[in-house]
Amino acid sequence: MSRQGRTHWPFGGALLKTRTHGVVTRLFSGSLMAVRKPKIVVTRRLPEPVETRMRELFDVELNAEDRPMTAEELGEAVSRADVLVPTVTDRIDARVLSRAGPDLRLIANFGAGVDNIDVATANARGITVTNTPGVLTEDTADMTMALILATARRVVEGANVVQAGEFRGWSPTWMMGRRIWGKRLGIIGMGRIGQAVARRARAFGLSVHYHNRKPAPAAVVDELQATYWESLDQMLARTDVISVNCPHTPATFHLLSARRLKLLQPHAIVVNTARGEVIDESALANMVARGEIAGAGLDVYENEPAINPKLMKLPNVVLLPHMGSATVEARIDMGEKVIVNIKTFMDGHRPPDRVIPSML
């Protein structure tokens, strides 16, 4: 029994599972031992098929109200859970983890990014962290391309005019945007999503440039005809559209600083579907307002959900509510990955999407 008086759930993958009258049991060395279902605490409402499957497999606490948990509530959750399933907006920092009970062994994040979790502290406490990479790649790349088009071609501005009843007919010089065909796209972060964005950009006639910690594999470069820039500064000065597709880490905080934003050409646009902290949001707002940058398309924000008020007033900025992966298919796939990570861990194996500090 644990200090909380609960039976620990076993981690031995080689044990034979059976089920008798609805009670999960295990056979071990010829003896029958009852095993409780692991206690799973889910911090936000998930798609119905995911929650239903979790109910079938686990002893799960769901958040029917879909109200974000406070830091105090997150602390209470880790004190009683075997597995915590947070989302990218839940900050699982050292203070929250200090309240973790002895049975908390896994944090199965519902999301690809893990900058909301203090992974080093979790690992030091013997708590494994997993995420859900891969399944939201195509949807996020679609949204990136949508923001590029919407910003360059003033789609939202035009839609607002029509909806306000102010459209008075076609004019040769009205609502002129910028062509993207034949322009240079600079991708910051050539991982799964960056590569998916590059494939779409090629179809729209953009040439692909990228900055990454290291060059992409030769096969990827050949497919995308991509130009690698070791110097981010040099790439920024030569491209027409910038797409931020890198994770938020200490090394990428304000990677697009005020100094670097000033390197952009006045006709350039900036699109971010990664993490808001990568851009100095205040500097971006000021430069767009002054006409030093042509526009921006943002799905994420530095102090999310708060948005810089200056950005809200700019007609040449397209603002979305962090919906890059918001498709039915992606969210169900993310939930399925969470379940696989939990079940694999329960069975005593390394979960397929384990995150370790050296990866960040």
Whether residues 348 and 298 share a domain: the answer is no
My answer on whether omega of the bond before 305 falls inside 30° of 0, hence cis, is yes
Residue whose C-alpha is closest to residue 336's, from 4, 53, 45: 53
- The pLDDT confidence band at residue 10, using thresholds 50, 70 and 90, is very low
Whether 167 and 311 map to the same domain: the answer is yes
156 & 304 share domain: yes
Q: Does a structural domain hold residue 7?
A: no
* Domain carrying residue 313: 137-319
Is 322 marked active-site? yes
Catalytic pick from 153, 178, 202, 322? 322
Residue 272 lies inside a defined structural domain of this protein: yes
The active-site residue out of 154, 248, 275, 331 is 275
Percent of the chain with pLDDT over 90: 88
Mean pLDDT across 140-154: 98
**Predicted pLDDT of residue 357:** 79
Same domain, 352 and 247: no
Residue 18 has pLDDT above 60, yes or no: no
The phi, psi pair for 162, rounded to 5°, reads -65, -45
For the chain, what is the mean pLDDT?
Answer: 91
| pLDDT score recorded for residue 14 | 33
CA distances from 252 to 225, 241, 245, 360 (A): 26, 19, 11, 11
Whether residue 174 sits in one domain with residue 96: no
The single residue listed with the structure tokens 């090394």 is 251
Q: Would 3 be classed as within a structural domain?
A: no
Decide if pLDDT at 32 tops 70. Answer: no
Residues 302-328: tens digit of each pLDDT: 999 999 999 999 999 999 999 999 999
pLDDT in tens, 39-53: 999 999 999 999 999
Q: Does residue 147 share a domain with residue 59?
A: no
As a whole number of angstroms, the distance between CA 145 and CA 291 comes to 23
* 160 and 197 inside one domain: yes
Position 28 pLDDT exceeds 60? no
CB 60 within 8 A of CB 40: yes
Q: Is the pLDDT of residue 337 over 60?
A: yes
Helix 192-203 crosses helix 137-152 at what angle (to 10 degrees)? 50
Residues 314 and 333 in one domain: no
The model's pLDDT over 279-302, given as tens digits with 9 standing for 90+, comes to: 999 999 999 999 999 999 999 999
Residues 191, 310 within the same domain: yes
- Calpha distance 193→197 (Å, rounded): 6
pLDDT, tens only, 202-235: 999 999 999 999 999 999 999 999 999 999 999 9
pLDDT digits (tens, 9 = 90+) for 178-209: 999 999 999 999 999 999 999 999 999 999 99
88-122: per-residue pLDDT in tens?
A: 999 999 999 999 999 999 999 999 999 999 999 99
- pTM of the model as a whole: 0.84
Would residue 275 show up in a list of annotated catalytic residues for this protein?
Answer: yes
Question: Residues 51, 61, 76, 304: which is the catalytic one?
Answer: 304
When pLDDT is averaged across residues 265-270 and rounded to a whole number, the result is 98
Same-domain pairing of 159 and 306: yes
Residue 21 confidence (pLDDT) above 90: no
pLDDT confidence band for 36 (50 / 70 / 90): confident
What confidence tier does 34 reach under pLDDT thresholds 50, 70, 90?
low
Does the residue 4 lie in any domain? no
Q: What is the domain-level CATH number for residue 164?
A: 3.40.50.720
Domain count across the chain: 2
Same domain, 116 and 214: no
Residue 72 lies in a domain: yes
Residue 262 placed within a domain: yes
Q: Do 181 and 78 fall within a single domain?
A: no
User: What is the mean pLDDT of the segment spanning 264-276?
Assistant: 98
Do the domain assignments include residue 2?
no
In a domain, 168, yes or no: yes
